[in-house]
Chains A and B, each alone.
Chain A
């Protein structure tokens, strides 16, 4: 639902990530956050001009 709503608002779906990480998977959590941060960096500033 969130993806569809973002689409209507013209916000790139690549800016949303949904992952399940257990508390025992610290390394995986770091990996996901790093790759998501890199993805957002590559996408650049959002059209909103605010941290969305």
Chain B
């Protein structure tokens, strides 16, 4: 299989890249890691007329903590960089748990977190994680720069709110209000398969062990990533005990909108969501999923 014909440009500045997208007039696609786009093009689900390869752009491969305590992940930061980073286990337990579960080790060498967010696959792991963490992306286009909350980035399966001449240049995870804790669990039939179900849980604990902020994102159990807002809200201001954890898990399972398919029945997937949320929060209580 090979893609249909396209024009290929690999600009060296972001301004050139944006100008090319503008020229593409909605028929252009940005190529970063290509681990979703290239297969889609080979299958002819996507046939862009122009590919704007951003791999030659400088200054987009960063993974760094900014002065304000936020974590900034550039559009060319690969999954493998996240997986190997010492920053994540220390500061970002939910992200650290997810990084080795993205696709497979070889795909992680090229694929990017920002690309995964923009690709808007309901099965995308990072979307759940960044949703749980309340993150946003920074998009640059002809009209300048803007910030898009990740839960407003995606409008449906494989569609996002980016304008045709905009490039998501980085994802940002805001600074924690307390000690970050949480995790990501995914059930997959084999490595690299789409998730049967996945759950990202991120909480921030204050000095007394109460939850200052919470977020829960669900993978593969709906037409898009699901933000289980009510489940997360049930945790805020509370100490994590078995009742509270059970309540959050119930609400998360209710928020899931799974379909019965060859990976399992809808009921089964809801059950998995319940189990995952319970398990992650129980580990938080046990101190196993907490940032140092």
Q: Indicate, yes or no, whether A interacts with B.
A: no
